[in-house]
Amino acid sequence: MISIKNFTFNSFEVNTYVLSDETKECIIIDSACYEDFEKKIFYDYIEDNKLKPVRLLNTHCHIDHILGNAFVLEKYKLTTEIHKDGLPLLNNMKSYGMMFGITLEDIPKPTVFIEENQVIRFGNSSVKALYLPGHADGSLAFYSEEGFVVVGDVLFNGSIGRTDLPTGNHELLINNIKNKLFVLPDNTKVYCGHGPETTIGSEKGHNPYF
Ligand SMILES: [Zn+2]
Ligand SMILES: [Zn+2]
């Protein structure tokens, strides 16, 4: 049984998720802790719960979602796991950050790439990678048959991801949400990259973009 812990980190208010199970192994989705006090909050949670981080996954490589990667990779000796189409974005983010006065620590090159529909295991549990470009190249969501999906910036409570940033594509985003998320059970909880959670059924019924 997977437990989910949500932190909201950095000035972009990104949700970082820690998924753990009874084995105490955990995976981190979108490590966004940036300030020292945020890194401490994150580290203390792992320590206090005696968790063992075994993977760091990124839904996509926009700068707000990777601000804690260097810290987590170093601390827990992990590698960034992304879809390979997100690599150009990842490589650009340091210079992109400079334009906004954000210092991004060097992130070691990913050595593991996640493919569409890949099953990602930890402890006694697993999530499946859904490939959903449209907000950004390489966008992934992570679905669990226990009844939830972590979607990054693809779908929000009452909204959808921006498509005006580099590699955005509105039509592709809408089609991917319809064909790959709205086919999940209505009671599937949706954990978003920003803001509160929702459900597939609620977004199918009330999201103004559909
Ligand atoms: Zn984004
Ligand atoms: Zn974001």
CATH code for position 138: 3.60.15.10
As given in the structure block, the two tokens for residue 177 are 């949400």
Q: What is the pTM (predicted TM-score) of this model?
A: 0.97
What is the 160 CA–ligand 2 centroid distance (Å)?
11
What is the 153 CA–ligand 2 centroid distance (Å)?
6
Total number of domains in the chain = 1
Q: Kindly identify the ligand whose nearest atom is closest to the C-alpha of 137.
A: 1
Q: What pLDDT is stored for residue 100 in this prediction?
A: 85
Name the pLDDT band for 66 (thresholds 50, 70, 90).
Answer: very high
What is the 51 CA–ligand 2 centroid distance (Å)?
26
What is the 60 CA–ligand 1 centroid distance (Å)?
7
**d(C-alpha 28, C-alpha 17), whole Å:** 6
What is the 209 CA–ligand 1 centroid distance (Å)?
18
What is the 185 CA–ligand 1 centroid distance (Å)?
25
Whether 38 and 25 have beta carbons less than 8 Å apart is answered as no
Window from 15-19, 32-36, 95-99, 171-175 with minimum mean pLDDT:
95-99
State the first-to-last Cα distance of the chain, in angstroms, to the nearest integer.
33
Whether 155 and 181 have beta carbons less than 8 Å apart is answered as yes
Identify which of 96, 94, 91, 86 has the alpha carbon closest to the alpha carbon of residue 57: 86
Contacting residues for 43 by C-beta, under 8 A, at least 6 apart: 75
Domain that holds residue 200: 3-206
As given in the structure block, the two tokens for residue 134 are 């449209």
Residue 130 has pLDDT above 90, yes or no: yes
What is the 179 CA–ligand 2 centroid distance (Å)?
22
Residue 19 has pLDDT above 90, yes or no: yes
Residue with token string 């940033």:
165
**d(C-alpha 14, C-alpha 109), whole Å:** 22
What is the 153 CA–ligand 1 centroid distance (Å)?
5
Query: Tell me, what amino acid is at 61?
Result: C
- Give the residue ranges of DSSP H helices in 34-135: 36-48, 63-66, 69-76, 87-99
Q: What is the mean pLDDT of the chain?
A: 96
**Which residues line ion ligand 2, judged by CB < 5 Å?**
64, 153, 193
What is the 192 CA–ligand 2 centroid distance (Å)?
9
Q: What is the DSSP letter of 111?
A: -
What is the 23 CA–ligand 2 centroid distance (Å)?
30
Identify which of 140, 147, 146 has the alpha carbon closest to the alpha carbon of residue 193: 140
**d(C-alpha 204, C-alpha 210), whole Å:** 7
**Run of H or E including 183:** none
Residue 156 has pLDDT above 90, yes or no: yes
Q: What pLDDT is stored for residue 28 in this prediction?
A: 98
